[in-house]
A = this chain, B = another copy of it.
Amino acid sequence: MTIDEILDSIYFLPDTSKQLLKRHISKVTFKKGHILIHADKIEKSIYFIQKGIVRAYTTAADNQITFWFGKEGDTVISMKSYIQDQKGYEDIELLENSALYELKTDHLKELFNTDIHIANWGRVFAEQELIKTEERLISRQLGTAKERYKQLLKQSPDLIKRVQLGHIASYLGITQVSLSRIRAEKE
Contact = CB atoms under 8 A, between A and B. Distances in A.
Contacts of A160: none
Contact of A130 (B67, B119, B129): B129
Contacts of A112: 120, 123
- Binding site secondary structure of chain A: helix
Interface stretch (A42-50, A95-103, A131-139): A131-139
Interface string A111-141: 0110010011011001111110110111011
Interface stretch (A12-20, A26-34, A77-85): A77-85
A142 B58 contact: yes
B89 A131 contact: no
- Which of A60, A84, A122, A128 has most chain B Cβ within 10 Å? A122
A119 B112 CA distance: 9
A125 B89 CA distance: 21
B131 A134 contact: no
Interface of A: 58, 60, 65, 67, 79-80, 82-84, 89, 112-113, 116, 119-120, 122-123, 126-131, 133-134, 136-138, 140-143, 173
13 contacts: A58-B138, A67-B138, A80-B131, A83-B127, A112-B120, A113-B116, A116-B116, A119-B119, A123-B123, A126-B126, A126-B127, A126-B130, A140-B140
